[in-house]
Every structure is written in C-alpha cells, then in structure tokens.
Amino acid sequence: MNSMNTDNDKEEDISSSETAELADQGYSAAGEVGMIKSRRTFRENVWRGLKSAPPTALFGLTVITIYAFFAIFAGFLAPYGEAEIFDLSYAPWDDQFMFGTDQLGRDVLSRLIYGARNTVGIAFVTTLFAFTIGGGLGITAAINNNGWLDNLLSRSVDVLMAIPSLIFALILLSMFGATTLNLIIIIAVLDSTRVFRIARAVSLNVVVMDYVEAARLRGEKLMWILWREILPNIMPPLVAEFGLRFCFVFLTIAALSFLGVGIQPPTADWGSMVRETAGLIQFAKYDLTAAMTPMLPAAAIALLTVAVNFVVDWFLHKSSGLKD
C-alpha cells in the first residue's frame, strides 16, 4: 500500500467539525478533491481479480494451467516417446499402456501428452501471429481512417473473408504443402482478417481522442501512436478476442489434422489421433475402454475449448463493465 491509501485513511478519520475548518481554508492545487482511488500492485490486482472470479472462470483457469503444465513438461511426464512404436497395435488399456496403443503400436497416453504441446503450441503461435498481423494492420487502418490505405486493407480483408476459411485453408495447404510452418502462416493470415476487423473497430473509438491528436501534433511516428497511445487502450477487447480466436484456430487445426492436411505424422496431434483411432468406436459392444480411445483426444479438445471460453466470458464481462 502506498501513500494514496494513507491519505484515504486520514480523510476518513476527520470528523465533520474538522472538515468544516478544513473546508474554509484557501485553495491549493494539490489539495483539490480528486477521485478517491488507491493504486495496487499488479499482484494485488491479480489476487483481487481471482477472488471475485466466478467458479466457471476458476474451473477454466485450472484446466488451462493443467494443459500448460503438460505441454511444457511433456518430455518428463509422458511414459514413452511420442513416436515410439511397440509391436503391439491396438493394445487394450492395462498397466503398461494406460490408454492402450494405436494402430501402429504407439502409446496413446504419451501421444495425448505430446499432443498438448503440439496442438496447443501450434494453435497458440498461430493465434499470436494472427494478432500481430491483424492487430497491427487494423490499428493502422483506423489511424488512416477512410484514407486510401484503410480502404485498400479493409476491402482486401472483405475479399479474404468472403471465401469459407476451412475450404480456403485446405486449398492453400494442398498448394503449398502441409508443413507446420505453412500451416501456421496460412491459418494466421486467414484468421488475421477477423482480428483486423475488431482491432480496427475498437481503435476507431480511440483514434478520435485528443491524446492521439496531441501525439500527432507532437510529431510522433505511426509506430509510437499505434504501440503506446492506442494499443494499451484497446487491450481488454483484444485479449478477450484472443481467447476466442485461440479456440477457433485450435479447432481449425484439429479439423485440418482430422482431414489429413494438418499436423503431419509422426508428430502427435489430437485431431489426427481422433481420425487414426476412429475405427475403434465400432467395438463399443465388445470392449468399452477400446471404444473410448478416440474419445480421449476429442474430449481433450472439447475440454480446453470450454475452459478457454469460460475464462474469456469472465474477462469480457469484466472489461465491458456489464453487471448482471
């Protein structure tokens, strides 16, 4: 707690008769009645935020933390390597292979854990990339409001958005080859169009503020205005959008992998895992656990999507200032 707070304490202790004396004193700039607001450290803010978070958001945060933990420490946590093949394909769930093995004899549990790193990691990088492109161009377009650059960018984005993105991604991936780098770039570019739209829309409200004009009058360059004047003021909606976009990217990658043009074997990935073991579902009447095997990666995808959405909902709720 810093000095602001002690001021407040003082103010509260003053009885009204003392206030009356105080009130009749002359004017001083530093003593003007301002908004009573104490500043907190970042840690205090985070703690206060968590304490007031609804249970759904806490659930979401917990799930995301566990996923992140598995993704980061996959090498230590997985019992076997992600491409390690045993000569026992479709092994049942037992002590050696907790969730059995797949069609090539790879341990499903290990691949699930590595899949967290690959699928989530690639989705994260892709989303980050999409935000860099879309956010940067969106704010630039807003600064250039209705100029030629804004029109060029906005119309190009409209054209890109007119084409169904999954089909477009499929075409591009088969054109350029389904490498991880291509996957990241193509999905990032396609998704950046959505980010562009929202970044431009929220920036337009900030661009008209006097402080942006003041920065322009000072002679600031575009990057400064974008980075220091506008970006900090549009962070809350962008962060919320980031969570949402991450889910979509993640699902797109899983879908592409399921179709065979996403993350390529032997890299473990939840989408392709569902596809590869999908046949097992037919054995549900003979061996329920075997039929569960394709459900595990699907459930991992579903759980993360739900968790991220819970957190995003909470964040949107907070940043928009909506009350119930």
Partner 1 sequence: MSDQNRGKKGDILLEMKDIVIDGYSDDRWHEIVKGVDVTLRRGEVMGLIGESGAGKSTLGLAAMGFARPGCRLTSGTIMFDGQDLMKTPEAKKRALRGSRIAYVAQSAAASFNPAHTLIDQTVESVIRHRIKSADEARKDARQLYADLQLPNPDHIGDRYPHQVSGGQLQRVMTAMAMSPRPDLIIFDEPTTALDVTTQVEVLASMRRIVEQFNTAAIYITHDLAVVAQMADVIKVLRYGVTIEDADTRSMLANPAKEYTRSLWSVRSIEKDEERSDDIILKVDGIDASYSGSEKVLDNVTIDVPRGHTVAIVGESGSGKSTAARAITGLLPPSKGQILYNGKPLPPALKDRSVDQLQNIQMIYQMADTAMNPRQTVRDIIGRPLEFYLKLRGRERDKRLMELIEMIELDESFIDRVPAEMSGGQKQRVCIARALAANPEVIICDEVTSALDQIVQKGILELLLRLQREFGLTYIFITHDIATVKAISDQIVVMLQGQVVEQGMKSEILSPPYPDYTHLLLSSVPEMDPDWLTGLLAKRKTEQAAG
Complex with partner 1: residue 231 or 259, whichever CB lies closer: 231
Do 254 and 301 meet the contact criterion of CB atoms below 8 Å apart?
A: yes
Complex with partner 1: residue 48 or 155, whichever CB lies closer: 48
Tell me which residue of 124, 22, 110 sits closest to 73, measured CA to CA. Answer: 110
Tell me which residue of 152, 130, 253, 124 sits closest to 199, measured CA to CA. Answer: 130
**Contact status: 28 vs partner 1 (CB under 8 A):** yes
At its nearest, how many Å lie between partner 1 and the CB of residue 152? 19
Q: Where do runs of H (alpha helix) occur along the chain?
A: 3-13, 16-23, 42-51, 55-72, 74-77, 108-115, 121-143, 148-162, 165-176, 180-207, 210-218, 222-224, 231-259, 270-277, 288-292, 295-320
Task: Considering only the stretches 20-28, 53-61, 62-70, 283-291, report the one whose residues sit in contact with partner 1 under the rule CB under 8 A.
Answer: 20-28
**Contact status: 148 vs partner 1 (CB under 8 A):** no
Among 56, 216, 295, 309, binds partner 1 (CB under 8 A): 216
Distances (CA, A) of 304 to 65, 68, 134, 180: 10, 11, 24, 21
**Contact status: 1 vs partner 1 (CB under 8 A):** no
DSSP per residue, 127-158: HHHHHHHHHHHHHHHHHTTTSHHHHHHHHHHH
At its nearest, how many Å lie between partner 1 and the CB of residue 96? 55
Task: Considering only the stretches 15-23, 68-76, 187-195, 258-266, report the one whose residues sit in contact with partner 1 under the rule CB under 8 A.
Answer: 15-23
Among 43, 148, 164, 232, binds partner 1 (CB under 8 A): 232
Using DSSP's 3-state secondary structure scheme, residue 30 falls into helix
At its nearest, how many Å lie between partner 1 and the CB of residue 229? 6
**Contact status: 176 vs partner 1 (CB under 8 A):** no
What residue type is 286 in one-letter code?
Answer: Y
Task: Considering only the stretches 101-109, 121-129, 214-222, 307-315, report the one whose residues sit in contact with partner 1 under the rule CB under 8 A.
Answer: 214-222
**Contact status: 44 vs partner 1 (CB under 8 A):** no
**Contact status: 33 vs partner 1 (CB under 8 A):** yes
Residue showing tokens 């459930």: 299
Residues in contact with partner 1 by the rule CB under 8 A: 3-4, 8, 11-12, 16, 19-20, 22-30, 32-39, 209-211, 213-214, 216-220, 228-229, 232-233
